[in-house]
Amino acid sequence: MSLLEVDAINSYYGDSHILFDVSMRVEEHEVVALLGRNGAGKTTTLRTLMGLVAPRSGEIRLEGSRIDGQPAFAIAKRGVQLVPEERRIFGSLNVEQNIELAMMTAPKAWPLERIYETFPRLAERRRSRGTDLSGGEQQMLAIARALVRSPKIILLDEPFEGLAPIVVRDLMAVCRNLAEQGQTIVVVEQNVAAALAMAQRAYIINNGHVVYDGTVDALKSSREIMTRHLGV
């Protein structure tokens, strides 16, 4: 049994059919990349997993129990955390207040010291308001708020978008360290090289359909698939 199993989900925005029989699996302690061109359905997939979009058909199971159709807060309590592309930190609160707010409803929260060991820059900026942080610092804070809740799986939506290369490098190092410590991650990322450097397996979505399901090594060796579906 996989940690997360997605079986033929179909998701819509109004009357627009976005995901077509999407199936995937995520094993415990695994990093999975979800790739595809803009508008392919990657973010909708994460939003469906998180309960922000209810699939009209299909099943989503976490540790063997169905979570499709449940509200996002219930899925979060089960151990799934989404770090959205917009980050959605509280700009009027400082770094530590943002983290403490996420801790309040966590069944088993990380201690602040562990967060600051993971993100030393946040320790330096702990009294700074969210609006005063750089883009990279805001992304660190968004990931920290998810981690503090001891999630079984983290869904990262475009974590490197708009960030300077040196910041991307530092965030990738954090994500690799988390993976080595056993954190399960699903990452949606337009930076294909960065995503593939983190992940063991990958899915490619094209126009709402899964068109590739396999290892990162096999994907890298297929120039035809990389060019056709990812433009690289």
Q: What are phi and psi of 90, to 5 degrees?
A: -90, 110
Cα–Cα distance between 25 and 4 in angstroms, integer?
Answer: 6
Collect the ranges in the chain with pLDDT lower than 70: 232
Tokens of 193: 């090289």
pLDDT of residue 232: 59
- pLDDT at residue number 64: 95
Task: Give pLDDT, residue 74.
Answer: 94
φ and ψ at residue 97, rounded to 5 degrees = -65, -40
Burial class (CB in 10 A: 0-12, 13-18, 19+), 18: buried
Phi, psi of 106 (to 5 degrees): -80, 130
Return phi, psi of residue 175, to 5°: -65, -40
